[in-house]
Amino acid sequence: MPKALITGITGQDGSYLADYLLSLGYEVHGLVRRVALEAPETRFSRIQHLLDRVTLHPASLESYASIFHVFSKHDFDECYHLAAQSFVAESFADGFSTMSTNINGTHYVLAALRELRPKCRFYFAGSSEMFGNVNEVPQKETTAFQPRSPYGISKVAGHHLTRNYREAYGLFCVSGILFNHESPRRGFEFVTRKTTSTVARIKLGLANELRIGNLEAKRDWGHAADYVRAMHSMLQQQEADDFVIATGQTHSVREFCEIAFGEVDLDYREFVKVDERYYRPAEVDLLIGDSSKAQKAIGWEPTYTFRELISEMVASDLAVLKEDFSRSGATAQSTTTHA
């Protein structure tokens, strides 16, 4: 059976990818920080249902030695490098650690592969944030990168490192330039999950408002479960290449809020408060991807609509809260907490 390593297996994409690869008969391994192994009840929430079917290895993206050690012990067919500091707002607050983790971590994994496992196929998780201040709409593989955040800059560097290892050393390395993709497993710090979880709390009387930044920012939003299929398909091709993965549709944060609140029969205008504290120092106003190359080359298309994505996220957050109430025997009470 094929053997795959996923860095960032405990994250949204890593957990969905592990699900998908296991369904295809893969032997799945994951890199995790040692601190995660010491607190599995909180760190492994997204892969709790998979722990008896995956093998986890302690390693740090900041330590070449630890990454080298894992590759020295195991011969993987595929490596999916998803681990990163991926919250854009945090990258403005701590650009140094974002750069160090995202750039050096990618370089360490590629260097270890070249030294020890040159036949292992490598996937790099690129991002639409690499395009930044776009000079064409929609964005495709040939669109110039003009990132507007330390996170975007770090991903551009990782993209070029991946391409360089492909061209200079002949490794099978690809970059997936994925536009925004969400799910019920998204982190609460991201605007989408912050919105759907707060909608659930407001519906159950646990909050009375949602404070948010730029309502007019527009993004191309898809479902993470769709996007991990694309990751896998990229590594099954005869030749390594880079692909944009996107729905080809753009929606504003305001639209996201309107639909999310509408799922529980509420008017978003009564609860959403614009708070300039959540504005980025340098905003990216419009991102929309052209995935026609991926559609033709690897046969990928999204299956979720924008509305279906939001509906699933709201329903999941409501179900989680209700289950918490049921376990604790508590009743939802009206509070004055802020999102």
Angle at 259 between CA 258 and CA 262, to 5 degrees: 85
Regarding pTM above 0.85, the answer is yes
Give 288's pLDDT tier (boundaries 50, 70, 90). very high
Residue of 91, 127, 149, 291 marked catalytic: 127
pLDDT digits (tens, 9 = 90+) for 132-163: 988 899 999 999 999 988 899 999 999 999 99
Contact partners, residue 43, CB within 8 Å, separation at least 6: 10, 32, 35, 36, 37
pLDDT digits (tens, 9 = 90+) for 164-192: 999 999 999 999 999 999 999 999 989 99
For residue 249, CA distances in Å to 74, 98, 107, 122, 289 come to: 41, 29, 33, 29, 8
Residue of 16, 26, 123, 151 marked catalytic: 151
Q: Where are the domains of the chain?
A: 3-182+222-245
Angle between helices 105-116 and 150-169 (to 10 degrees): 20
Nearest alpha carbon to residue 183 among 8, 6, 14: 14
- Please tell me the class of the 3-182+222-245 domain: alpha beta
Residue of 78, 129, 263, 312 marked catalytic: 129
Has 268 been annotated as catalytic? no
Q: What is the pLDDT of residue 337?
A: 37
> How high is the mean pLDDT of the chain?
91
Give 98's pLDDT tier (boundaries 50, 70, 90). confident
Has 127 been annotated as catalytic? yes
